Amino acid sequence: MSKGSKFAHPHQPVADAIASLFAPWVEVAIHDIASDSLAYVASPMSPRAPGDPSGLADLGTPSEAGFIGPYEKTNWDGRRIRSVSVVLAGEPASMLCINADVSRFEAMREMLDMLLKPVQPAAQAEATPLLRHDWHESLNRFIAGWSAQRQLDARSLGREERQALISAIHESGGFEAPRAAAYVAGLLHVSRATVYNQLADLKRKVLAA
């Protein structure tokens, strides 16, 4: 550290920047290699303080990539931590450790697993009569199936693809509901007039045939 510096360690801004970007999930610690002690910690997740022993010998040596990890450890309060460590260039000889609290993401994953788990067959069967008469659901399923078969995104179809889809919906009877055309226009991100005009063209072709 240069004389008169406002930072506790030359690399403190690096630690602060990383911790600020990923707050509150990440702690960034700088260890002094010579004294094997903690020199600085940004957004601390444990009671450690500068001057506490680091135990760097337990980490081993950096790989050919120049860093150690990712590796896992347990925080003082039992939270699961995933870390990566890298030796910093310059003096004093230091090691920067980024410690991410992955227990928060595990909780998110559990919530997603709960929300996305398959619907029970009995519950789906109860809803089937209702869905059979829901023209919104019928259109959703038809458009999703048509798009999936062609590996297309219904929200960003080209003109010819959109016309093909509208024709397919028309042939399936999907526009029989009073507001179906307006609903399809919203799904395809086009104006109602665009859908109405194509339907009119289709009807004219049928009459002319």
pLDDT 10s digits, 96-124 = 999 988 887 877 887 877 777 776 666 54
pLDDT 10s digits, 15-48 = 999 999 998 889 999 988 888 888 899 988 888 8
pLDDT 10s digits, 166-196 = 888 888 888 887 888 888 888 888 888 988 8
**Residue 3: which pLDDT band, with cuts at 50, 70 and 90?**
low
CATH code, 12-107: 3.30.450.20
Q: What is the mean pLDDT of the chain?
A: 81
Distance of alpha carbon 92 from alpha carbon 79, whole angstroms: 31
125 has pLDDT over 80: no
133 has pLDDT over 60: no
**Residue 4: which pLDDT band, with cuts at 50, 70 and 90?**
low
In the chain, CATH 3.30.450.20 sits at: 12-107
Among 1-5, 9-13, 66-70, 116-120, which stretch is predicted with the lowest mean pLDDT? Answer: 1-5
206 has pLDDT over 60: yes
What are the CB-based long-range contacts (under 8 Å, 24+) for 171-176? 172/142, 174/135, 174/138, 174/139, 174/142, 175/199, 176/135
